[in-house]
């Protein structure tokens, strides 16, 4: 028995429509995703500029399907509080200093060893090479996913009492430090009195003279307006500070393979931008800080060498803390990069 032509046509139209619906249906990994990225520093700082660039790239690559909202200036808490939130799965992204990550994974303390890097070129080569990428992979042990190393920059001292020309000038100064045992030992080893506290509490501590001094790259000094409460800036360059773009492993494990790749690609692009901006703004910030009335003095290479010699017991202690093999491989990776 032949089918009526109109019925056959109707079946064909329905079949085609159903096929189109199936082809156009979103896959399991194509759902809309919302994520929060918290930073500890203001909107003008390269850390937050990098976070916003990451969010922009992610939205562009996903066609608006993945939206990352940036909360700057410690709105979501201190670096340590945000790391805890990532581990608990209540926040998705942040970019803390390697120094605060060392409280979770001791090996990360190796990056803060004083006077380790000669310049940014060495740092990039180590962080982007096998050594740095191997360290990122270790973060999964602490329920974090390491995506990239960002730059904060070389750290310098500011204080309200006197220029730091030689190591002895640090004697007796109450210096705010990150909540990290290496940094506490470093400044105590130079004769100062280390006072650990989060950066978002620092301005008030300097203003009220609870501490005399602090140490950070130029961009942090400018972004946090420490020039209002600090007169002297001395270019000790005693440590290179890297930040780490990290994601919550609980969040990451729920993503499709395609979305993980998308976020990794976005992280690589944002890293190139973040480092470039950090270097440009650090160079500009020094001149701006002079205009704001800070007295800047360059510490000589000979004096920086003396400071390192005074810190040899601290370096030895913390090489043992991070693991002698970890430290040995770190310095070997640096040695492979020409100055």
- Nearest residue to 289 via CA among 200, 157, 169, 168: 157
- The dihedral through the CA atoms of 304, 309, 314, 320 has a sign that is positive
pLDDT at 223: 92
pLDDT for residue 2 is more than 50: no
pLDDT at 31: 87
Angle (nearest 5°) at CA 235 between 233 and 237: 135
Give the helix/strand (H/E) hosting 149: strand 144-159
Q: Are 123 and 240 within 8 A, CB to CB?
A: yes
> Of 12-26, 47-61, 90-104, 229-243, which range is least confident?
12-26
Q: What is the second-level CATH architecture of the domain 33-335?
A: 3-Layer(aba) Sandwich (3.40)
Q: What is the DSSP letter of 26?
A: P
DSSP string, 206-264: HHTTS-SEEEE-HHHHHHTTGGGT--EEEEEEEEEEEEEEEEEHHHHTTS-HHHHHHHH
Give the helix/strand (H/E) hosting 67: strand 66-71
CA distance 295 to 1: 100
pTM score: 0.86
Task: Write down the residue that tokens 């601290």 correspond to.
Answer: 314
Mean of the per-residue pLDDT values for the chain? Answer: 91
- The domain limits of the chain are 33-335
Half-sphere exposure of 88 (CA within 13 A, CB side): 8
CA distance 150 to 54: 12
Round to the nearest angstrom and report the end-to-end CA distance of the chain.
88
Q: Are 158 and 218 within 8 A, CB to CB?
A: no
The string of pLDDT tens digits covering residues 115-159 is 999 999 999 999 999 999 999 999 999 999 999 999 999 999 999
Q: Are 157 and 164 within 8 A, CB to CB?
A: yes
The string of pLDDT tens digits covering residues 246-290 is 999 999 999 999 999 999 999 999 999 999 999 999 999 999 999
Helix axes 324-335, 312-322, angle to 10 degrees: 110
Task: Write down the residue that tokens 């920059």 correspond to.
Answer: 153
Identify the burial level of 166 via C-beta atoms within 10 angstroms of its C-beta, where 0-12 means exposed, 13-18 middle and 19 or more buried: middle
Phi, psi of 327, deg, nearest 5: -65, -40
The string of pLDDT tens digits covering residues 163-205 is 999 999 999 999 999 888 999 999 999 999 999 999 889 999 9
The string of pLDDT tens digits covering residues 199-249 is 889 999 999 999 999 999 999 999 999 999 999 999 999 999 999 999 999
**Is residue 38 classed as helix, strand or coil in its secondary structure?**
strand
How many whole angstroms from its chain centre is CA 233?
23
Confidence of residue 20 (pLDDT cuts 50, 70, 90): very low
CA distance 195 to 213: 10
pLDDT at 179: 86
């Amino acid at each position: 028995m032949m089918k009526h032509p109109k019925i056959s046509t109707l079946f064909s139209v329905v079949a085609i429509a159903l096929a189109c619906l199936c082809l156009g249906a979103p896959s399991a990994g194509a759902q809309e995703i919302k994520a929060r990225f918290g930073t500890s520093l203001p909107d003008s700082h390269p850390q937050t500029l990098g976070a916003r660039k990451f969010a922009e790239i992610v939205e562009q690559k996903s066609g608006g399907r993945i939206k990352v909202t940036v909360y700057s200036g410690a709105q979501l808490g201190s670096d340590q509080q945000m790391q805890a939130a990532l581990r608990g799965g209540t926040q998705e992204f942040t970019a803390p200093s390697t120094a605060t990550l060392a409280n979770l994974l001791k090996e990360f303390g190796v990056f803060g060893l004083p006077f380790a890097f000669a310049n940014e070129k060495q740092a990039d080569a180590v962080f982007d090479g096998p050594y740095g990428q191997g360290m990122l992979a270790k973060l999964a042990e602490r329920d974090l996913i390491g995506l990239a190393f960002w730059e904060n920059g070389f750290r310098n001292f500011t204080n309200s009492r006197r220029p730091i020309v030689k190591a002895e000038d640090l004697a007796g100064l109450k210096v705010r430090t990150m909540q990290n045992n290496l940094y506490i030992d470093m400044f105590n080893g130079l004769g100062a009195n280390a006072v650990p506290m989060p950066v978002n509490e620092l301005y008030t501590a300097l203003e009220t003279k609870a501490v005399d001094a602090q140490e950070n790259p130029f961009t942090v000094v400018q972004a946090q307006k420490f020039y209002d409460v600090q007169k002297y800036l001395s270019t000790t360059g005693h440590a290179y500070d890297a930040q780490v773009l990290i994601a919550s492993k609980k969040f990451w494990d729920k993503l499709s393979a395609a979305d993980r790749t998308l976020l990794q690609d976005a992280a690589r692009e944002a890293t190139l931008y973040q480092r470039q901006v950090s270097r440009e703004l650090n160079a500009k910030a020094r001149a701006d800080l002079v205009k704001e009335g800070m007295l800047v003095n360059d510490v000589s290479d000979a004096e920086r060498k003396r400071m390192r010699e005074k810190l040899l017991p601290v370096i030895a202690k913390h090489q043992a803390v991070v693991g002698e093999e970890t430290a040995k491989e770190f310095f070997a990776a640096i040695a492979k990069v020409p100055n």
